[in-house]
Amino acid sequence: MNKTLTNILAIAIAVLAIASSTHAAGFIHPGLLNSKAELDFIKGKIKAGAEPWTSTLNTLKKSSLGNLNWTPRPKAIVDARSNDAGIELDDATAAYTHALLWYFTDDERYARKSVEILNAWSAQLTDHVSDDRQKERAAGWCC
């Protein structure tokens, strides 16, 4: 597993740990992967220069997923029997990475890149196909 992915997973685990302590509050929109409180906690740690948050942010900035030159590769139909699902997952991960980088840095360029990636896919994607229902569900999670 590469170092960038390891660091992203480390942040995800930290966020999930925080989420489990705040879950009793109930559903709060958008209710996706992270709450504002979780993101604010991490942003505060970064602002204070605390580790591992600061070095992980720097790793994300330097990663291909956080590169402002990322070019989305949308498909009209994602065939999970091919590499299409991997391409979709890469773009979804890049969009999420850019959204996190925007929130943690207040750099609007990351927000624009995340929107660009999502808009590219929403303008093209019409279907997911596969012989494997689990792969279809995984592919569907990306969009």
**Amino acid 136: pLDDT:** 58
Per-residue confidence at 80, pLDDT binned at 50, 70, 90?
A: confident
> Residue 81 has what DSSP assignment?
T
33 vs 58: which has the higher pLDDT: 58
Q: What is the rounded CA–CA span in Å between residue 74 and residue 18? A: 33
Q: List pLDDT tens digits, range 58-70.
A: 999 999 999 999 9
3-state SS, residue 97: helix
**Amino acid 17: pLDDT:** 47
Going by C-beta distance under 8 Å and a sequence separation of 6 or more, which residues neighbour residue 7? 52, 55, 56, 59, 60
Q: What is the rounded CA–CA span in Å between residue 123 and residue 116? A: 11
Per-residue confidence at 137, pLDDT binned at 50, 70, 90?
A: low
Q: What is the rounded CA–CA span in Å between residue 108 and residue 99? A: 10
8-19: average pLDDT: 48
